[in-house]
Amino acid sequence: MEPIDRRSFMKSVAGAAVLVAADSARTKAYEGSPVFLSTWVHGKPANERAAEVFKAGGNLLDAVEKGINVAENDPNVTSVGYGGLPNAQGVVELDAAIIDGTRHRAGAVCSLREIKNPISVARLVLEKTQHTTLAGEGALRFALQMGFRPEQLLTPESLKKWLDWKANPQRKTFWLNPADNHDTLGMVATDGKGHVVSGCSTSGLAWKIPGRVGDSPLIGCGVYADDNVGAASATGNGDLMSNYCTSISIVHYMARGASPQDACTELLEHMVKTDPDNRTGDVCVIAINNRGEIGAAAMKKSYRLKYALWRDGESQLLESVALY
Ligand code: SD4
């Protein structure tokens, strides 16, 4: 056997101790309180509803789904569900996804028309099918089969906004001249026992080219959850963020030991390292680990993320850090 000097011995002992500690942290059941963390101002009532559902005996998926329904049903939230701003043809097309960190299974719908609650349709894709994602016409047919009612999703206000946009000869379009309307609802949550879920629902970018799918319903982009580590979600320019698989990247940074906050900023820094122009991107992310610690970050001060946190019965609205 090779003789081992004192320093190497100490290093290997310390290394082994770290591994044992990390391993027991991973395997030890964490007993804390449930936490709900959501993007934007409308995340607050969504968290409150989620906490209510959870306290009443719902599981974490029920809680996240029902919480997100609150924003989907609210005609004043113009970026999610009913009242969401339409595509360039004046048609509302919704995207949503939900992922269960225990089963490592997700359900998602893209470009879903006429159905107010895409997150609930996504949940049924997860629970009732062997598929993960349904899009367009097929997603609508599935929703109808599941008993959802088709509805006009334009409100008088969103119709007026679309007509104004259409009538404006200077209007912004997505033919390489992006418009700037956002506010998707992303929610990550833990039950306080190490289980995590991530859900996201959006009408996407206003005036998008029909058929455009953003990051929100893409597993690994708009949502990701793994009970071994934590969960993440994103809001902002999904055309940009899809290229970085934001949510799974953040969860992987956490798996390597980063706190949720450091994982969020690491992702943003990585985006800027690969392309300095990304400093001006509309990019906001949230994350939670399986111990209930949270993180939130925005790329730039001019598009700072307001996020909602529910913990220990307290419901707060906070502002994230912004890198540039
Ligand atoms: C999308 N990421 O469709 C969504 C929009 C959004 O804040 O999050 N807006 O690109």
SS3 call for 38: strand
**What distance in angstroms lies between residue 204's CA and the mean position of ligand 1's atoms?**
5
Helices 60-73 and 43-55, interaxial angle, to 10°? Answer: 140
Q: Which of 237, 247, 305, 320 to mutate to test the pocket of ligand 1 (most atoms within 8 A of CB)?
A: 237
Closest CA to ligand 1's atom 2: 238
Classify residue 304: in a domain, yes or no. yes
Is residue 228 in a domain? yes
Gap from CA of 118 to ligand 1 centroid (Å): 15
Residue 282's pLDDT is: 94
Q: Torsions phi, psi of 283, nearest 5? A: -135, 125
Which structural domain, as residue segments, surrounds residue 179?
6-322
Q: Is residue 229 a contact partner of residue 251, using CB atoms and an 8 Å limit?
A: yes
Contact 92, 81 (CB under 8 A): no
- The answer to whether the beta carbons of residues 260 and 254 sit under 8 Å apart is yes
State the distance from the centre of ligand 1 to the C-alpha of 57, rounded, in angstroms: 31
Closest ligand 1 atom to Cα of 203? 3
Q: Indicate the pairing of strand 294-298 with strand 283-289.
A: antiparallel
Q: What pLDDT, on the 0 to 100 scale, is given for residue 32?
A: 87
The interaxial angle of helices 136-145 and 118-128, nearest 10 deg, is 80
Rounded to whole angstroms, how far apart are CA atoms 228 and 102? Answer: 8
Q: Does residue 214 line the site of ligand 1, with CB under 6 A? A: yes
- Terminal CA-CA length for the chain: 54
Q: How many CA atoms lie within 13 Å of 284's alpha carbon, on the beta-carbon side?
A: 26
| Nearest protein CA to atom 10 of ligand 1, as residue | 238
CA 195 – CA 189 distance, rounded (Å): 8
Residue 1 lies in a domain: no
Determine if ligand 1 sits within 6 Å of the CB of residue 306: no
Q: How far apart are CA 26 and CA 289, in angstroms?
A: 11
- Structural domains counted in the chain: 1
Length of the chain as a residue count: 324
Using an 8 Å Cβ cutoff, are 97 and 216 in contact? yes
Tell me the C-alpha to C-alpha distance, in Å, between residue 59 and each of 43, 54, 55, 308.
Answer: 19, 6, 9, 20
User: What is the distance in A from the centroid of ligand 1 to the CA of 9?
Assistant: 52
Cα–Cα distance between 188 and 184 in angstroms, integer? 13
**CATH code of residue 90:** 3.60.20.30
- The pairing of strands 321-322 and 294-298 is parallel
Residue tagged active-site, from 39, 133, 184, 202:
184
List average pLDDT for each run of 10 residues in the chain, which is 324 residues long: 48 47 44 93 97 98 98 94 94 98 98 98 98 98 98 95 90 65 88 97 95 97 98 97 98 98 98 98 97 97 94 96 96
User: To test ligand 1's pocket by mutation, which of 185, 201, 213, 235 has the most ligand atoms within 8 angstroms of CB?
Assistant: 235
Residue 88 domain flag:
yes
Residue 298 near residue 283, CB atoms below 8 Å: yes
Q: Max Cα separation, the chain?
A: 82
Q: What are phi and psi of 185, to 5 degrees?
A: -100, 115
Residue 142 resides in a domain: yes
Could you tell me the pTM of the whole model?
0.89
Is 274 catalytic? The answer is no
The residue whose C-alpha atom lies closest to atom 5 belonging to ligand 1 is 204
> How far apart (Å, rounded) are the C-alpha atoms in residues 148 and 83?
17
The conformation of residue 148, written as its DSSP 8-state character, comes to P
pLDDT at 31: 72
Is the shortest distance between the CB of 118 and ligand 1 below 6 Å? no
